[in-house]
Amino acid sequence: MIEVQSLTFRYEVSERDALRDVNLTVPDGAFLGIIGPAGAGKTTLLHCMSGIIPHAFPGDFYGAVRVGGLDTADNRLTDLSRLVGTVFQDVDSQIISSVVEDEILYGLENFGVPHEEIGDRLTAALEQVGISSLRERTIASLSGGQRQKVAIASLVALRPQILVLDEPTGELDPFSSRQIFTLLRTLNREHGMTVVVVEQKIMLLSEFADRLAVLNDGEIVKEGPVRGVLSDIPLLERIGVNCPRAALFSSLLAEKTGTEVPVCVSAEEAVEAARRVMG
Amino acid sequence: MTDLFQYVPGNSPLHRMNPVTKIALTLSVCVAAFLTDNLFVLLALILFDLMIGVAAGAFRKALAIFRGLFKVSLFLFVLQALFVRRGNRLLWIVTDEGLSTAAGVVLRLLAVCLPLALVLTVTRVSDIAGALVQVLHVPYAYAFTLTTAIRFIPQFMEEMSGIMEAQTARGVEFDTKNIFKKLGLILPLCVPLLISSIRRTGATATAAEVRGFNLRTRASGYKKYGFGLVDLAAVLISAALITGAALIP
CB contact under 8 A, B209 and A110: no
Say if residue B3's pLDDT is above 70.
Answer: no
Residue-level pLDDT at B37: 85
Q: Is B204 in the A-facing interface, judged by CB distances under 8 Å?
A: yes
CB contact under 8 A, B210 and A52: yes
* Range A168-175, long-range pairs (CB < 8 A, 24+ positions): A168/A87, A168/A197, A168/A199, A169/A199, A169/A201, A169/A204, A170/A89, A170/A200, A171/A91, A171/A143, A171/A144, A171/A145, A171/A147, A172/A145, A172/A148, A173/A145
Lowest mean pLDDT among A42-51, A261-270, B25-34: A261-270
Share of chain A above pLDDT 70, in %: 100
Nearest CA-CA distance, residue A136 and chain B, Å? 7
The answer for A 194-213 residues in CB contact with B (under 8 A) is none
CB contact under 8 A, B126 and A99: yes
Residue type, A207: E
CB contact under 8 A, A81 and B212: yes
- The predicted-structure confidence for A112-135, as pLDDT tens digits, reads as follows 999 999 999 999 999 998 899 999
CB A101 within 8 A of CB A134: no
- The predicted-structure confidence for A213-239, as pLDDT tens digits, reads as follows 999 999 999 999 999 999 899 999 999
Question: What residues of A are in contact with residue B202 (Cβ under 8 Å)?
Answer: 56
- Rounded to whole angstroms, how far apart are CA atoms B126 and B148? 9
DSSP B95: E
Lowest mean pLDDT among A244-258, B25-39, B179-193, B198-212: B179-193
Q: Which residue is closest to A105 within chain B, CA to CA?
A: B222
Q: Which residue is closest to B200 within chain A, CA to CA?
A: A93
Superfamily of domain A2-226: P-loop containing nucleotide triphosphate hydrolases (3.40.50.300)
What strands, in cross-sheet order, belong to the sheet with A84-87?
A84-87, A162-166, A194-198, A31-35, A211-216, A219-225
Q: Is the bond leading into A37 cis (omega within 30 degrees of zero)?
A: no
Residue type, B45: L
ipTM of the complex: 0.84
Closest partner residue to B7 (CB to CB) among A78, A98, A108 is: A98
Share of chain A above pLDDT 90, in %: 68
Query: pLDDT tier at B59 (50, 70, 90 boundaries)?
Result: confident
Q: Which residues, other chains included, contact B137 with Cβ-Cβ below 8 Å and sequence gap of 6+?
A: B218
- Rounded to whole angstroms, how far apart are CA atoms A162 and A67? 9
Q: Is A99 in the B-facing interface, judged by CB distances under 8 Å?
A: yes
Kindly tell me the burial class for residue A6, based on how many C-beta atoms sit within 10 Å of its own C-beta (0-12, 13-18, 19 or more).
exposed
Residue-level pLDDT at B1: 47
pTM: 0.83
3-state secondary structure (DSSP) of residue A191 = coil
CB contact under 8 A, B203 and A109: no
Query: pLDDT tier at B53 (50, 70, 90 boundaries)?
Result: confident
CB contact under 8 A, B204 and A93: yes
CB A135 within 8 A of CB A126: yes
What is the overall mean pLDDT for chain A? 92
Question: What residues of B are in contact with residue A76 (Cβ under 8 Å)?
Answer: 214
Residue-level pLDDT at B82: 84
Residue type, A258: G
Kindly tell me the burial class for residue B151, based on how many C-beta atoms sit within 10 Å of its own C-beta (0-12, 13-18, 19 or more).
buried
Q: Is A148 in the B-facing interface, judged by CB distances under 8 Å?
A: no
- Rounded to whole angstroms, how far apart are CA atoms B241 and B247? 10
Question: What residues of A are in contact with residue B3 (Cβ under 8 Å)?
Answer: 140
Closest partner residue to B124 (CB to CB) among A51, A94, A102 is: A102
Sequence ranges of the domains in chain B: 2-131+226-247, 138-215
Pairing of strands A19-26, A211-216: unpaired
Q: Is A90 in the B-facing interface, judged by CB distances under 8 Å?
A: yes
**Alpha helices for chain A (secondary structure H):** 42-50, 52-55, 77-83, 91-94, 100-110, 115-129, 144-156, 174-190, 202-208, 226-230, 233-239, 245-257, 267-278
Residue type, B169: A
Element holding B40 (H helix, E strand):
helix B39-55
CB contact under 8 A, B220 and A110: yes
- The predicted-structure confidence for A130-189, as pLDDT tens digits, reads as follows 899 999 898 888 988 899 999 999 999 999 999 999 999 988 899 989 988 998 999 999
CB contact under 8 A, A92 and B155: yes
Residue-level pLDDT at A71: 96
**How far is CA B44 from each of CA B100, B121, B124, B240, B249, rounded to the nearest angstrom?**
16, 22, 28, 13, 14
Q: How many CB pairs under 8 A join A and B?
A: 99
